Structure 1
């Protein structure tokens, strides 16, 4: 007999604790065995937990849904960041909506042309909890934190950003506004004349609708739109998708000599190129858009 604890957590009859990520689209759940609950709080926006898991180390959990782990979080951070940063020939002004743990921001400042990285995180407590349990303080004075709703913040940004990274969580709770059609137009208008945006777009297997809708919405504004993939073991299904949208520069023609991969743990020039090679079932969905 299972008895429910905090959102997403269950204590088994033998007292083992599991975190379950519910996937209603597939009528299944993915479970992570928990060694310890290190932190829990209810912020003004969501439940915030830090757990030590058996398989993936420390994990940030929001409203019962895993977000990033200490064991494989570097994959997500590198793949949401380096594609756009390499494609743009001289990114100076970079912004990120979400990413309150500052992992992607640390990747962005590896590019010598960068003058400013602004991280826009709606929940200040996510930033503080990650500092305490997951990451250290940002190690560059180029990184600036702004605690606002990203969908509201971006309405005041016009033709400013060379690169914008949208590290949005699943489309419910405080992130729902980051999936609305108006948001994509605001992203386009926030970018400089040759700007590039990247969106995390979910699992290309169990949540293909998120990927296809993102591509469709961006295609209304950007002349260059590409989906790309990576493998993240702790994420349900193990495969994750991103969409890059560009006003001018095509990542398929990027100068890979600019890629800052020498100290990376996942991306390299070969991964950069092959991440755009899509399985047939995804290509068929995209071709029908």
Structure 2
């Protein structure tokens, strides 16, 4: 294989020199390959390597440091699962903060809830927002909806200044490398707890329950020390290794298993619906065992 650029993960293969993107799953000795039709954009921002590729199976892909983050064909799945569970669980989520999520998919899903009065999107890298807007044809939700406020800061530094402000805190962190590393540490969860109102709740993804159960287990363990209600739920996300992804919701008061499902804004969704809301909390035995 001949690497065509200095970009992480991209290689040319075979006599026809087809372009592929490979995502390593080091814990399992596994590589996931995505056939790339065209490399549309690449750059090194002050924080990370950003690229956009047209893929054969997933349409346009936003790639950070060689790892796919969002695709035009199925990116709605991750964003719907990350947002609709907490926003349905909380009966009156007026103030919402989203750390990460530079593609603004989570913000667009949050904006479906009319009782939300303010949405703060805290993104460390402004170039991710700009590149997503240019190449992924995503509407500029922060221009179309005056409830959305973009804050370009390191999420860890920003949250240190927040105390008892938010009803819902959504953490759309990338994998635990580079600028997102701090968002997996116990100190961050403590700051997140402090940033929430007395009945606030927190949600984040916790990686693959099969390929990287330690991330899921550690996330639950840290949050259990802070919140009285902590639950894991799952979704099928085709672009991620293994196709199954875990999320953790932690709440000071509201239990998603007792949520008023009438609040769920699902009719224009591609994935989430009332039946799936509850079904996503049904865990396979191997996941239950990993959480022990």
Shorter-normalised TM range: over 0.9
2:28 and 2:166 map into 1 onto residues whose CA distance is: 38
**Separation in structure 2 between the aligned mates of residue 188 and residue 45 of structure 1, nearest angstrom:** 26
Q: Given the alignment of the two structures, is residue 120 of structure 1 paired with residue 111 of structure 2, yes or no?
A: no
Q: Which runs of 5+ in 2 are unaligned?
A: none
In the TM superposition, what is the alpha-carbon distance from 1:202 to its structure 2 partner?
0.4
Alignment correspondent of 1:173: 178
Partner residue in 1 for 2:3: 4
1:136 aligns with 2:139: yes
Deviations 1:200-223 (A, max 9, x none): 100010000000000000000000
* Alignment deviations for residues 123-147 of structure 1 (CA, whole Å, 9 cap, x no partner): 0100000010111211311111111
- Partners of 2:190 and 2:176 in 1: how far apart? 18
Query: In structure 2, the residue corresponding to 1:183 is in which secondary structure?
Result: helix
Q: CA deviation at 1:43?
A: 0.3
**Which residue number in structure 1 is paired with residue 273 of structure 2?**
268
Deviations 1:111-162 (A, max 9, x none): 1111110100000100000010111211311111111000110000100000
The 5 A counterparts of 1:50-199 are 50-134=52-136, 135-138=138-141, 139-199=144-204
SS of alignment partner, residue 4 of structure 1: coil
Tell me how far 1:4 sits from its aligned partner. 1.5
Q: Following superposition, which runs of at least 4 residues in structure 1 exceed 3 angstroms of deviation?
A: none
Query: What is the CA deviation profile of residues 49-83 of structure 1, one whole-angstrom value per residue up to 9, with x for unaligned ones?
Result: 00000000000000111101000000001000000
SS state at 1:228 partner:
strand
Q: How many residues align?
A: 286
**Equivalent-residue separation in structure 2 for 1:218 and 1:234 (angstroms):** 27
**Separation (CA, whole Å) in 1 of partners of 2:245 and 2:145:** 28
Structure 1 position 17, deviation (Å): 0.2
Q: CA RMSD in A?
A: 0.7
Where in structure 2 are the equivalents of 1:25-64 lying within 5 Å? Answer: 25-64=27-66
The alpha-carbon deviation at position 109 of structure 1 amounts to 1.1
Which deviations, in whole Å up to 9, do the C-alpha atoms of 1:154-213 show, x marking residues without a partner? 000100000000111111100011011100000000000000110110001000000000
* 1:228-239 correspondence runs (5 A): 228-239=233-244
Shift in Å, 1:285 = 2.3
**1:3 aligns to what SS in structure 2?**
coil
Deviates most, 130-139 or 72-81? 130-139
Deviates more, 1:246-255 or 1:7-16: 7-16
Take 1:212 and 1:89, find their aligned partners in 2: how far apart are those partners? 28
SS of equivalent to 2:22: strand
Normalised to the residue count of structure 1, the TM-score between the two structures is: 0.98
